[in-house]
A and B are shown apart, each in its own frame.
Chain A
């Protein structure tokens, strides 16, 4: 574990991209992660087994994508 060169030409001391500190990542992961998961939820599950909005409009609109993306639909 002490090599200084690699096939990709990147040494451990200088990763080709700076490491993102966890403290910087956390707020993004919480807020962004939540919003992005919410988007996945609306495509994959809303108005199926669970519903945040009444009706079937969202379910029906994304219906074909839901089936083809592998989510349980109906």
Chain B
């Protein structure tokens, strides 16, 4: 049955990825392009990283050396591949988590469980990290801080996800002790508390150049958030619907209880 869940998760992720690509292409690319323009205007004479030597001519060649992939390719097939692979793989992982959570988090229909898991995943992997390390367009970071920024970002993802799993795990005993409403509130408060501590304890990496256009940054971050909202919402809704439909058609039967 896991195989059947897995491919449905990846299918839901692919559908989500295609919709997210439309969002990224329409609303994400314009601010990204303007950010590259700003970056190029600043690049003359300074800050050339190893992996990102920006030619003095900047225009049209974001990353000058080596691979020679054009902006046109980056913003079309590259973007489609990046968002599509990300979303499809996320859908597969989502299906694995769903298989683990199903029947172990109380009485929930597949659709309800799918939506709940997607909400939890969005909160833990997007919303909470977003507050501390929001997405940045080109022209914000410097090559000197990429190692640090990568480390703290993935570390925060790990902390946030672990805290979420802990809260979900404790929700049941807390409900038994405090009642259904207060139990869930307590579990949520625990996650919020850990998130708040993480926001405070993780280092702030400030790299926004003094004259970076604020409007471009705002639009970039907003579109980035929109992309993630689409991915997680579509993933949660489509996966749950696919599973329930398959279940009604008796396609999903477990080895353990084929008669359920």
Residues on A close to B: CB < 8 A?
A: 1, 6, 8-12, 14-22, 24-25, 28-29, 32-33, 36-37, 39-40, 42-45, 47-50, 55-57, 59-74
Contacts and interface: CB of A to CB of B under 8 A. Distances in A.
Contacts of A18: 1, 103, 252-254, 256-258, 260
A69 to B, nearest CB: 6
Interface residues of B, number: 81
B85 to A, nearest CB: 5
B104 A64 contact: no
Given A14-B260, A28-B6, A43-B82, A70 B51 contact: no
- Chain B CB count within 10 A is highest, among A19, A42, A45, A55, for A19
Nearest to B248: A16
Interface in B163-202: 176
Interface string B74-105: 11011101110110111011001001101110
A39 B83 contact: no
Contact of A70 (B5, B66, B96, B228): B228
A51 to B, nearest CB: 9
The 5 closest A-B pairs by CB, nearest first: A65-B82, A18-B254, A19-B103, A62-B82, A49-B150
B137 A69 contact: no
Given A20-B254, A67-B136, A10 B150 contact: no
B151 A19 contact: no
Contact of A8 (B108, B151, B257): B108
A61 B51 contact: no
Contacts of A71: 135, 153
Given A33-B93, A55-B67, A63-B74, A16 B247 contact: yes
Contact of A19 (B28, B89, B104, B153): B104
Contact of B96 (A15, A25, A65): A25
B34 interface: no
Nearest to A58: B67
A40 B86 contact: yes
B104 A65 contact: no
A60 to B, nearest CB: 4
A11 B254 CA distance: 18
Interface in B1-17: 1-3, 5-6
A62 B51 contact: no
A74 B148 CA distance: 11
A22 B96 CA distance: 11
B156 to A, nearest CB: 11
Contacts of A62: 78-79, 81-82, 85
Contacts of A16: 109-110, 244, 247, 260
Contacts of A42: 85
B13 to A, nearest CB: 10
Given A19-B102, A49-B150, A65-B79, A70 B126 contact: yes
